[in-house]
Chain A
């Protein structure tokens, strides 16, 4: 399949890329390829109850520079301010289009403005948020391919640092697909299931972030040698226990509050200790998300759990009760299931809070991802080498979870970043003037063989055993995943160690990861569904290795509450007010680590 612009992933980043690239590139062939069905795919498949990134410039509520200060404060100083400013100055237009398309946004009856959940968040009736956005994307793309698992990016035969397309397979009939493209925009998902989830057995899939967000945002990019940053900036979420119900609307809009088991508000009591770890950053208002986690973790370690969200006083009207329940029913229905099953009526009793396992992503309150070129009119010189949102690989663009350093995008910001990448990709394709990349047939043949190997491994290995799941020559994708989760949890700062790690633990983790990498050459897939899981695992393992190497490289604890380097327990601005970066060499398996400067363009 030939296209001008290939968009991988039909979530909010990909849908935004499709819309904008069609607006500017009327005659271009724009293709979306999606692992699921864009109608309900990506992290917003289930819906959302709020848009977490909206300035409200029309009412003078906030300006883009205010937003940069907020995101910078939350991430302890380390963000790409040019990228964040760029999203913030465009995001209101995106949200206004969403409303025009039919997304119900709640309004304050007195002022007529959007109802604020918090300074940056507005409330929506978002059950159909994704189907609405998908409709706009379908009308923009030349063709949408659903149920195609993209496994690898293709590189140009003549220029080793130029992208040429992607390959994958149809999960229904096993057809091998080659997508040749002049520009590729990766809008794939970040990583759930890198770390062992708190739930066990059947409940393993009940994670905060979608289990189908399988790290393709990074797993596709890393083998191309694209520069990655902030991969150690994994996020841990404080959520309602087990259901992973969101807490934002409860804290901000409904004014519920957290206490320890004895009803004491504990956060302030940890302030002095936090100051000793992170210095001036402890005074940031609002308190950075990771530091709030830290206070909760310390309280639990002191034996004062469970931590409770005191919901009872917040639901004194029918309207507030509806808001509280809709918060779950729009986006985390399982939390309603937990309450119903455990007879918890939030009007009557509090609910337990807990911290999640870590996730790796670039769209939420965290910013792992690719190092990308910044906007021409905003980015410092050394943040600019090409087109806006282009990675260090020529013709390869990113949006949403793919782009590092631009935190606090959420849904509206990811769509906006997709739009920015889409417009840039159109300009890139037009500037090429028909100079299409060349794809080596030998490269394609090799990849085809590689992609389907797990089916072959199973076919051969299965004959050695009578029945069951225990085989001497292959392991299943699930068995491989469980090994990954266990070792990341135990060596790279998962929940079972209270997110603590150190150099010896990380080095031992890398040793075990190496063996896992050898073993996944022996994955056995019984069918095409398992073949999808096999390649998801490949993407997750590469991402996990990047996380481990970045965590080892950053010799400080920059974000206590997300993870701790016990051998470097304090924040160290003198050495580490920088981005950590890595480049992977797929031929040798070597990782080149470096530091990149953080420029503050907003006072």
Chain B
């Protein structure tokens, strides 16, 4: 594996194909569902697992050091700003965790163009956008004169 797609859940929507950083989730031309074409280049990053609207993708850890019988499942609720994890051990023990993922609405970040345009002469200064206010100190540090 390590990611694999559940034949009965996948509807071939291609979300996993769009998101996979390693370009290894592809649509099988026969079954019209996704699968991992190159397991040995999968980082088990769960990008596809989190993106799948059908929860059709799971991970079975690498066979060279991971015994069977475990599960690490994830549900990422973007609008709620939460991610839920369920870890099932080989011996059946379960641990569950919930963590926040974002404190502002998705899409709410202001474009840098939305800020007042800087004075062109500032292009030669060492200051970056929003400084010094964003630094939360009065001035940009420079080398101590003794140096």
Contact = CB atoms under 8 A, between A and B. Distances in A.
Interface in A141-169: 147
Nearest to B71: A340
A23 B62 contact: no
Interface residues of B, number: 83
B63 A202 contact: yes
Interface in A545-603: 601-603
A333 interface: yes
B99 A330 contact: yes
B136 A343 contact: no
A22 to B, nearest CB: 5
Contact of A377 (B68, B126, B128): B126
A23 B118 contact: yes
B53 to A, nearest CB: 15
Given A24-B129, A203-B40, A340 B65 contact: no
B87 A19 contact: no
A333 B23 CA distance: 19
Interface in B1-36: 1-2, 18-24, 26
Contact of A345 (B19, B63, B89): B89
B102 A128 contact: yes
Q: Interface on chain B toward A: helix, strand, loop, or mixed SS?
A: loop
Contacts of B109: 101-102, 132, 135-136, 139
B98 to A, nearest CB: 9
A338 interface: yes
B103 A205 contact: no
Nearest to A85: B143
Contacts of B20: 36
A447 interface: no
Interface stretch (A57-65, A284-292, A305-313, A357-365): A57-65
Nearest to B126: A377
B40 A201 contact: yes
Contact of A343 (B21, B91, B95, B111): B91
B75 to A, nearest CB: 12
A88 to B, nearest CB: 8
B129 A23 contact: yes
B130 interface: yes
Interface string A7-22: 0000000000001101
A345 to B, nearest CB: 7
Contact of B113 (A26, A104, A603): A26
A203 B45 contact: no
A206 B39 CA distance: 10
A595 to B, nearest CB: 24
Contacts of A140: 111-113
B66 A338 contact: yes
Nearest to B44: A334
Contacts of B118: 23-24
Contacts of A135: 106-107, 109
Contacts of A339: 87, 89
A203 B131 CA distance: 46
Given A135-B106, A242-B65, A343-B89, A206 B43 contact: yes
Interface of A: 19-20, 22-24, 26, 35-37, 39-42, 45-46, 57-58, 63-65, 85-86, 89-90, 92-93, 96-97, 101-104, 125, 127-128, 132, 135-136, 139-140, 147, 171, 199-207, 210-212, 242, 322, 325-326, 329-330, 333-334, 336-343, 345, 375-378, 416, 419-420, 423, 426-427, 430, 478, 529, 532-533, 601-603
Interface of B: 1-2, 18-24, 26, 37-47, 59, 61-72, 74, 76, 83, 85, 87-91, 93, 95, 97, 99-113, 115, 117-118, 123-124, 126, 128-132, 134-137, 140-144, 146-147
Q: Sort A-B residue pairs by CB-CB distance and give the 6 closest, nearest first.
A: A102-B104, A203-B62, A58-B136, A341-B70, A93-B134, A23-B112
19 contacts: A20-B128, A22-B113, A23-B113, A26-B117, A36-B22, A37-B18, A40-B21, A104-B103, A127-B76, A139-B111, A140-B112, A199-B65, A202-B39, A202-B62, A212-B22, A329-B97, A341-B66, A427-B124, A529-B23
